[in-house]
Amino acid sequence: MDRPARIKLPLPQEEFMYSGHTACPGCGAALAMRYVFKALGPNTMVVIPPSCAGTIAGAFPFSSVKIPILRISFETAAISASGIRAALDVLGKKDIHVLAWAGDGGTLDIGIQALSASAERNDNIIYVCYDNEAYMNTGIQRSSATPAGAWTTTTPVPFTKDTPKKDIVRIMAAHKIPYIATASVGFPPDLVKKVQKAKEVVGTRFLLVFSPCPTGWRYSSEMTIRIARLATDAGIFPLYEVENGDQYLLNRRGWKAESLKEYLSLQGRYRSLKEQDIDKVKERVTKEWEYLLRLAE
């Protein structure tokens, strides 16, 4: 077989996380951290609230991350990043990137007030929400990012979540911040490119990173990447960017209905969905896409 003369890796080689961290096998959130930290490099500080990421970051005296971390209280990811940013600017260290790293619960629920405020002030921070669609660290309780029809411990069958996923991208776009992007661990080079793009922008930058969770979504750990890619193929998690709140850039225009069925069937949390529920999902995806396509014109 024809072997290439030198290994060319699909992403920058240097790691900013250490092995030995305590993420579940197959964890999408750990991948999100790995990719984003890679893209940002060593001149970065990150604030992390209680979350899977907080646990993955380690317990005293061990850190699994190569950049400085401040462990902060749950609601304060955005304002803590803003506070560090303000201090670094006053101290003359304007070239250090300040990153807020929170899960969907810490962003869409308890952290949304502080996030909205930082975005309204257009504070010069990068906010990454890794989305595993529930409060996973505390044992799979529903968040406002949990999709309709999903099982969680606080939305048990037959009372699975009946409201759709809160659209945080639309909320952030309403703040007219300079750069927003959706990304997924299923498409790491795209994610890395978006982070590198965000690095060059001044102001509040928001990234939503789709991070499948084998433990909470009830699938076998080796399927994380497959499920992430299916979500985008199925139109459930579109990849797009929003600049200045109104310029929409769709990274991909189509979606496949066949992928939707496979996506849902691979996950135990959707086991209670009936044919009519899946049709409703399809309807919602269609509607969302019509809206996105209109915005992208």
Partner 1 sequence: MKKVISGNQAVSQAVLAAKAQVIAAYPITPQSSIVEMLASFCASGELPAKFINVESEHSAMAACIAAASVGARTFTATSSQGLALMHEMLHYASGLRFPIVMANVNRAMGSPFNLKADLSDSLSQRDTGWLQFYCESGQEVFDTIIQAFKISEQVLLPVMVNLEGFILSHTYEIVDIPEQDRVDAFLPPPAERPILDVEDPSMMGATTDLYINFRYKMHQAMEEAKAVCQKVDEEFRTIFGRGYDLLQTYRCAGADIILVTAGTIAATCRVVADRLAAQGLQVGVSKIKLFRPFPQEQLRRALAEAKKIAVIDRDFSPGCGGILAQELKSALLGSNPDISVHEFVAGLGGKDVTDDHIAWIVEEVMKAREPEGIKWIGLLE
Partner 2 sequence: MKKRYSVKKLQDLPLTSITFLTSEANETGEWRSQRPVIDPGKCNRCGLCWMYCPDMAIGAEEECFTVVDKYCKGCGICAQECPNGAISVVVEER
Instruction: Give the binding site for partner 1 (CB under 8 A).
Output: 42-45, 47, 54-55, 57-61, 63, 65-73, 75-76, 79-84, 86-91, 93, 96, 113-114, 116-117, 120-121
- Residue 23 binds: one of partner 1, partner 2, none (C-beta under 5 to 8 A by kind): partner 2
Classified as helix, coil or strand, 106 is helix
Give least dist CB 121 to partner 1, A: 7
Nearest to 53 by CA among 72, 81, 79: 72
Cross-strand pairs, 47: 70, 100
Q: Are strands 97-103 and 126-131 parallel, antiparallel or unpaired?
A: parallel
Give least dist CB 34 to partner 1, A: 16
Cβ distance to partner 2 smaller for residue 141 or 215: 215
Give least dist CB 193 to partner 2, A: 14
The H or E element containing residue 152 is none
Classified as helix, coil or strand, 58 is coil
Per the CB < 8 A criterion, the answer to whether 218 and 26 are in contact is: no
Give least dist CB 159 to partner 2, A: 31
Cα distance between residue 274 and residue 251, in whole Å? 31
Question: Counting contacts by CB under 8 A, is residue 31 touching partner 2?
Answer: yes
- Residue 157 binds: one of partner 2, partner 1, none (C-beta under 5 to 8 A by kind): none
Question: Counting contacts by CB under 8 A, is residue 73 touching partner 2?
Answer: no
Question: Counting contacts by CB under 8 A, is residue 18 touching partner 2?
Answer: yes
Which residue shows structure tokens 């308890």? 110
Cα distance between residue 133 and residue 144, in whole Å? 8
Q: Which of residues 193-252 bind partner 2 (CB under 8 A)?
A: 214, 220-226
Which residue shows structure tokens 């309807």? 283
Task: Please report, as ranges, the residues that interact with partner 2 according to CB under 8 A.
Answer: 1, 3-4, 6-11, 13, 15, 17-23, 25-28, 30-31, 34, 58, 60-64, 188, 214, 220-226
